[in-house]
């Protein structure tokens, strides 16, 4: 499909669906954590998805090799991927989906701050600065004013979700500010999955028994994570990013915490307290400002 200069109906539908998939992904992780130890679960997902991406690349005849100058960035992005999902899966074991959705999906905030320093042309404007401030206040409210969520969540879980957002922003910066920006998206994803798998597997032995009485629903959730989220979902995102303007694609990120909070309340019967509702409003408003397209100079 040829590149386009704006989001059309297909793009809007696909990006909305992807945001909903990411939100539902957290519900699935929360459920599967009941049967599989979170870090072991993350390791199995990376291993399975890496195999899927490898087979996809072989099927399409894409070159699978380490390009000159990409070894160290590849190891770095794979390590950051391991950190991201180590922290996210542990966070969902300790805190609620609603809280994790608000805190974890502040990633564009930390990406904007990092890009301001590391990527030429990504300076923080007054509009972005206002968005950063709103989202930051939202995170502080979510973590500090626990309200009615105090009995369902933990401060450690909230902080792990925030750490996962930092690692996710680091992945995006690594993909855009190092030599990995010259390789295909599939290669970037293969680096992330193949490096994170052994790291997570090794770490899993430090977090207790690998199995927690798994049932059929937990194995089904693992399969969903491997095939639909980590393989097909991430490839869809990278494909959409190659067709539509990056800023326009990023603008749909504000939908994910909205969907995440809604699904946590609808499917898991999680409480929606006033602090988390206020935090959600501030974070979403901040993300919209951060991703707002700059007006052309007159």
Per DSSP, the residues of 41-97 read: HHHHHHHHHHHHHHHHHHHHT------TT-HHHHHHHHHHHHHHHHHHHHHHHHS-H
When pLDDT is cut at 50, 70 and 90, the band that residue 252 belongs to is: confident
The predicted pLDDT at position 147 comes to 58
The predicted pLDDT at position 125 comes to 83
- Structural domain includes residue 49: yes
Burial of 54 (0-12, 13-18, 19+ CB in 10 A): middle
**pLDDT tens for each residue of 187-235:** 989 999 999 999 999 999 999 999 999 999 999 999 999 999 988 888 8
pLDDT at residue 151 tops 80: no
Question: Which residues, 6 or more positions from 261, have their beta carbon under 8 angstroms from its beta carbon?
Answer: 97, 98, 101, 102, 272, 276, 280
pLDDT at residue 245 tops 80: no
> Who has greater pLDDT, 286 or 295?
286
The predicted pLDDT at position 220 comes to 97
- Structural domain includes residue 156: yes
> Comparing C-alpha atoms, which of 256, 225, 232, 284 is closest to residue 15?
256
CA angle 246, 66, 116 (to 5 degrees): 35
Calculate mean pLDDT across residues 143-169.
80
- CA 280 to each of CA 29, 113, 255, 286: distance values in angstroms, whole numbers, following the listed order: 21, 20, 11, 10
Calculate mean pLDDT across residues 42-60.
94
Average pLDDT, the chain: 86
- Structural domain includes residue 171: yes
Lowest mean pLDDT among 58-62, 146-150, 193-197, 278-282: 146-150
Which pair of tokens denotes residue 131? 């968005």
- Structural domain includes residue 216: yes
- Structural domain includes residue 151: yes
- Structural domain includes residue 196: yes
The predicted pLDDT at position 297 comes to 39
Contact 185, 11 (CB under 8 A): no
pTM of structure: 0.87
The predicted pLDDT at position 296 comes to 41
pLDDT at residue 238 tops 90: no
**pLDDT tens for each residue of 77-120:** 999 999 999 999 999 999 889 889 889 988 888 888 887 888 77
Total Cβ atoms within 10 A of residue 108: 26
Domain around 126 = 17-290
pLDDT at residue 298 tops 50: no
Contact 142, 95 (CB under 8 A): no
The predicted pLDDT at position 237 comes to 80
The predicted pLDDT at position 90 comes to 96
pLDDT at residue 295 tops 50: no
Total Cβ atoms within 10 A of residue 239: 14
CA distance 136 to 78: 27
**pLDDT tens for each residue of 8-30:** 888 888 888 988 998 999 999 99
Complete DSSP assignment for 196-261: HHHHHHHHHTTSS-SBS---HHHHHHHHHIIIIIIIIIHHHHHHHHHHS-HHHHHGGGGHHHHHHH
The number of domains in the chain is: 1
Contact 282, 143 (CB under 8 A): no
- Structural domain includes residue 8: no
CA distance 230 to 2: 25
- Structural domain includes residue 139: yes
Which pair of tokens denotes residue 215? 């049932």
CA distance 215 to 234: 27
């Amino acid at each position: 499909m040829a590149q386009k200069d704006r989001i059309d109906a297909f793009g809007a539908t696909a990006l909305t669906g992807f945001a909903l998939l990411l939100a539902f992904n957290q519900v699935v992780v929360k459920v599967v954590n009941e049967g599989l130890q979170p870090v072991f679960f993350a390791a199995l997902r990376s291993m399975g998805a890496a195999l899927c991406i490898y087979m996809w690349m072989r099927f399409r005849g894409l070159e699978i090799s380490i390009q000159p100058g990409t070894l160290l960035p590849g190891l770095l992005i794979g390590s950051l991927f391991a950190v991201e999902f180590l922290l996210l899966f542990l966070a969902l074991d300790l805190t609620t989906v609603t809280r994790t959705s608000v805190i974890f999906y502040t990633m564009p905030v930390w990406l904007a701050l990092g890009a301001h320093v590391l990527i030429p042309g990504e300076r923080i404007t007054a509009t972005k600065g206002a968005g950063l401030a709103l989202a930051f206040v939202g995170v502080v409210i979510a973590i500090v004013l626990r309200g009615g969520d105090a009995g369902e969540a933990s401060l450690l879980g909230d902080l792990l979700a925030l750490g996962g957002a930092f690692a996710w922003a680091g992945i995006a910066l690594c993909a855009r500010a190092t030599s990995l920006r010259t390789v295909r998206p599939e290669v970037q994803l293969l680096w992330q999955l193949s490096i994170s798998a052994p790291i997570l597997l090794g770490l899993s032995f430090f977090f207790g028994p690998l199995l927690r009485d798994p049932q059929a629903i937990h194995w089904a959730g693992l399969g969903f994570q491997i095939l639909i989220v980590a393989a097909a979902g991430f490839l869809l995102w990278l494909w959409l990013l190659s067709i539509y303007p990056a800023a326009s694609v990023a603008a749909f990120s504000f939908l994910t915490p909205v969907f995440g909070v809604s699904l946590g309340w609808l499917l898991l019967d999680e409480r929606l307290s006033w602090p988390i509702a206020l935090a959600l409003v501030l974070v979403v408003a901040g993300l919209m400002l951060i991703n707002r397209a700059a007006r052309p100079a007159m």
